[in-house]
Structure 1
């Protein structure tokens, strides 16, 4: 897609935010039947470009704060029921003008994606598994089109916009320093039959209050639980992995399944692919309860607990606050060998040190 050409403007690691918001209603599912169909709805050859007359200085790469720096330009593509997709426009980075009755404001009829491009060791810029993001984007667009009540009906107007910018570490603690998690069963992020497996804004806004509760209790993130048995789902910005020895003493990597409660993360997908390729230990996608986790911790079965995500890549977990008690996780005492190995393997691929078809050349 033409939007990837913007990667060359920033250099280094780049974070993309791809948002679809509805001015009246959401995108019709027929627009997103396949990735090939989407790409033919508008063409790079039709791109209209307006360059900024006031380019900013490049930020200091050593002082980058995640999500605070943006490039001089953005991509917008308007769509209407009457005209379909309009010509793509690259224009100076600017505020959006939307109607006060916009459904994105009132009903959260919007979705977004976040993905990264990397300046590799050969100085070329490549995106990491972007089609997995587009497939997830596709599924979210279809889900957002379901016609709920309260006057929310099908869309007449919508817009895709893409913004990019260089990023630093996601957590203030650094790129590979352990984080602590608040596991509080009073709060629920998603539920069966909901949209917890879609990257929609409505899944994130309500979590801010709980995130503040976690910070007040000295934790960096929230470990979301579900159901009466306190089933582990995901962390605020990460999918969760547990590396332990099962009851038979066999090493096993476990992560919650894609059953509609959690986001199907691209990094999660990649870690599972790598682990299964290695074939050195058991790999399972299954339910984990806090009771099971606490028992394994008490019996010294836990080797490592870590999260994965586009923003943090791989992040170790050292503590979980559950039922008012802090439970130390021996992740760092065990290396963490597996988390470090995953991080090295992934970043070697992302920065081009290890050739892989997961990387898509941009420029």
Structure 2
């Protein structure tokens, strides 16, 4: 007699249970917000087990989780997460920016840690319902948003390095203001040669908690030397990889007078950022003449290739380094004005507003699409 394996249940939005927070609070004044410190009234939780699959999703009051001291996430860093934002436009319409990409990446990260994967559109439907529940927490001021943090952890009650038989997916939300409330302030980077963020075959391409924990000490070292962030360098030629927790872009002036926008390739060490992909898409559309960036008048070449500190330093000396910036969900674009490298500073040009001739028009187009000022398919409707 031949038996067939029955597929375990995936995430089922139709089973959603709602528990209202009876101690709901008024959102704080927007000017008092500090990134990641204030959270909304509700959160989403979805437990999973190897026997039952994904269980009943619940929107419930924000509060502590109940975990056994032996939970595998506490011992073996079985944690993956995402960072995404909900935006409210002038009419009150609420949208999410490219959330399908976050669902794809979260599944890729979960698979890397042998955590359970899920149907991305189903989780996204539940996230939208959570945002609808707490939509009044989204600040109405320009540049503000609701930061959304989906997280998946192993919760099996056993000490042992194995794929967990129990897990918990939860989503929390935090109202946030603009990363640069008083205008763009270029940051100084420390070219880190003492530590590595990632290596080939490792986990640099995945959004897992362990990648960020090991960056705390190098960040302290950089701060003690007078720099805001690390510039992660790799290998004997000091290849540029990432900027702090952001993807990295460099703009070189070409002999023809045009620009080359360069970012390291996705070689297994680089996180495939949603903002990174958005910047590259906008730049390539401009280069192809499909959707020109109005303020960018120079010819633009877009490259995903290796770039070393030797090349950056030489370009700075020759006057061919146009700008360098980080790109990520929190800051969108983060311009850089100097890099501390082997005992000296490599100076990077910035313009009066702190940005550069390539990052500025890309930032304007990107934020316009995020905030709804520019209608585009990247923004998914949530609610009025």
* TM-score above 0.5: yes
1:335 Cα shift?
5.4
1:153 aligns with 2:162: yes
CA–CA distance in 1 between the matches of 2:335 and 2:243?
12
Counterpart of 2:188 in structure 1 is 180
Q: Distance in 1 between matches of 2:171 and 2:325?
A: 30
Aligned to 2:174: 165
Post-superposition shift, 1:175?
5.5
The secondary structure found in structure 1 opposite 2:269 is: coil
SS in 1 for 2:363: helix
Q: Please give the TM-score of this superposition, normalised by the length of structure 2.
A: 0.80
CA distance in 2 between counterparts of 1:64 and 1:340 reads 25
> Aligned partners of 1:167, 1:325: CA distance in 2, in Å?
36
Of 244, 247, 250, the residue aligned with 1:236 is 244
Q: Deviations over 1:234-293 (max 9, x none)?
A: 011211111111355441000111001111100010010001101141000000011111
In the TM superposition, structure 1's runs of 4+ consecutive aligned residues that sit over 4 Å from their partners are none
Aligned residue for 1:194? Answer: 202
Residues 285 and 174 of structure 1, relative CA distance in 2, 3 Å threshold: farther
User: In 2, distance between residues paired with 1:269 and 1:184?
Assistant: 25
Rate the CA distance shift 1:72–1:335 in 2: closer, same or farther, 3 A: closer
Which of 211, 236, 246 is the aligned partner of 1:203? 211
Structure 1 residues 18-40: Cα deviation after superposition (integer angstroms, max 9, x where no partner): xxxxxxxxxxxxxxxxxxx99x8
Tell me, yes or no, if structure 1 residue 337 matches structure 2 residue 357.
Answer: yes
Corresponding residue of 2:136: none
Count of residue pairs brought into register by the alignment: 322
DSSP 3-state at the match of 1:337: coil
Distance in structure 2 (CA, Å) of the matches to 1:335 and 1:135: 31
Checking the alignment, whether the CA contact within 8 Å between 2:338 and 2:348 is kept in structure 1 is yes
Give the CA RMSD over aligned residues.
1.9
Mapped to 1, the partners of 2:101 and 2:306 lie a distance apart of: 23
2:234 paired with 1:245: no
1:42 alignment counterpart: 11
Bigger relative contact order, structure 1 or 2 (CA pairs below 8 A, ≥6 apart):
1
Establish whether residue 56 from structure 1 lines up as the match of residue 25 from structure 2. yes
Tell me which residue corresponds to 1:97.
Answer: 66
CA contact (8 A) 1:125 1:361 kept: yes
Could you tell me how far 1:124 is from its partner in structure 2? 0.6
Which runs of 5 or more residues in structure 2 are unaligned?
1-6, 116-158, 288-298
Residues 1:349 and 2:369 are matched in the alignment: yes
Please, which moves more after superposition, 45-54 or 244-253? 244-253
**Residue 175 of structure 1 contacts residue 315 of structure 1 at CA under 8 Å; is this kept in 2?**
no
Distance 1:337 1:144, change over 3 A: same
Secondary structure, counterpart of 1:209 in structure 2: helix
Residue aligning to 2:44: 75
Asked whether the equivalents of residues 182 and 321 of structure 1 are also in contact (C-alpha less than 8 Å), the reply is: yes
* Distance of 1:108 and 1:61 partners within structure 2: 34
Q: 1:261 to 1:175 in 2, by over 3 A?
A: farther
- Give TM-score, length-normalised by structure 1: 0.85
State the Cα deviation string for residues 108-133 of structure 1 (Å, max 9, x = none): 01100010110023311000000111
* Structure 2 counterpart of 1:301, from 320, 343, 356: 320
Deviation by residue 1:204-257 (Cα, 9 ceiling, x = unmatched): 001101111111111111100111110100011211111111355441000111
| Counterpart contact for 1:48–1:88, Cα < 8 Å | yes
Instruction: Give the secondary-structure state (helix, strand or coil) at the position aligned to 2:103.
Output: helix
What SS class does the counterpart of residue 358 from structure 2 fall into? helix
Secondary structure in structure 2 of the residue aligned to 1:362: strand
The alpha carbon displacement at 1:153 in A equals 1.1
